[in-house]
Amino acid sequence: MEFGRTRVLCAASVQDGVPRWRSGSGLGWVTAEYAMLPSATGSRSPRESVKGKIGGRTHEISRLVGRSLRACIDMSALGENTITLDCDVIQADGGTRTAAITGAYVALADAVTWLRASRKLSDPKPLSCSIAAVSVGVVDGRVRLDLPYEEDSRAEVDMNVVATDHGTLVEVQGTGEGATFPRSTMDKMLDFALEGSAQLSEMQAAALAEPYPGELPGGIRS
């Protein structure tokens, strides 16, 4: 997934079974792991695995990605199977969490295609909508969409919006950077964000209309 100069590799893995606390429920699970490569930014950052501690930001974004994608899937249709979404930032120039969510949805949809071909779904269409996310902010007094790092670092208001292709909201994270802002600004930012997410939803649909990128169970290619 590429948002300008931000590039995130998103992959989905399917595993039999669910976390212990969910075992016996008949429900599936979707979770996510987010990470940034050491050289993804202008200056190298040590690998968190080497430091032996996962940072708070990494935990937060991993939970955000998983939470966002769980909003669009019927867990009962998955049976007791787990889909893990791995989002690795190759290059960062702002908006890595929104790019991760948008790319992770495409990976999730491909995983559902694989499960359907494996006859592991109780409902062949467990996805109720698509999920996309975009950043929006106020820079130099103007609302702008999909902020690169240079704009994000000096934004007066910064917001991340997760939405469905139906135009409904999954999550809104917003903050005034050093000052308050009026409700009218927030409304305008949401309008911009929903326009942007609608465009992303169209791109997701176009990508998923392409043949499945691999071999489906039974040696069948879509």
Binding-site residues from annotation: 57, 95-97
pLDDT reading at 169 higher than 80? yes
pLDDT reading at 222 higher than 80? no
Tokens encoding 176: 């005034």
pTM: 0.93
pLDDT of residue 54: 80
| 222 located within any domain | no
The whole domain housing 179 covers 2-209
d(CA 52, CA 128): 38
pLDDT reading at 218 higher than 80? no
Q: How confident is the model at residue 206 (pLDDT cuts 50, 70, 90)?
A: very high
Q: How much is the average pLDDT of 137-156?
A: 95
| 215 located within any domain | no
Q: 98: closest CA among 17, 25, 197?
A: 197
**Which domain CATH number covers 97?**
3.30.230.70
| 214 located within any domain | no
* 219 vs 15 pLDDT, higher one: 15
d(CA 214, CA 197): 27
Residues 73 and 128 sit within 8 Å (Cβ to Cβ):
yes
Binding-site residues from annotation for phosphate: 57, 95-97
Q: How confident is the model at residue 217 (pLDDT cuts 50, 70, 90)?
A: confident
Residue 182 class from Cβ within 10 Å (0-12 exposed, 13-18 middle, 19+ buried)? exposed
Strand order through the sheet with 6-16:
2-3, 6-16, 81-91, 29-36
Q: Which residues of 26-36 are buried (b: 16+ CB within 10 A; e: fewer)?
A: ebbbbbbbbbb
Residue 112 class from Cβ within 10 Å (0-12 exposed, 13-18 middle, 19+ buried)? buried
E-assigned strand segments in 38-102: 81-91
| 179 located within any domain | yes
Q: How many domains are there within the chain? A: 1
pLDDT digits (tens, 9 = 90+) for 86-138: 999 999 999 999 999 999 999 999 999 999 999 999 999 999 999 999 999 99
Q: How far is CA 128 from each of CA 29, 90, 145, rounded to the nearest angstrom?
A: 16, 30, 26
Tokens encoding 179: 């000052």
pLDDT digits (tens, 9 = 90+) for 31-64: 999 999 888 988 888 777 777 778 888 999 999 9
pLDDT of residue 145: 97
CA atoms within 13 A on the CB side of 64: 25
CA 117 to chain CA centroid, Å, is: 24
pLDDT of residue 194: 98
Q: 120: closest CA among 16, 19, 213, 218?
A: 16
Residue 10 class from Cβ within 10 Å (0-12 exposed, 13-18 middle, 19+ buried)? buried
Instruction: Provide the mean pLDDT of the chain.
Output: 94
| 186 located within any domain | yes
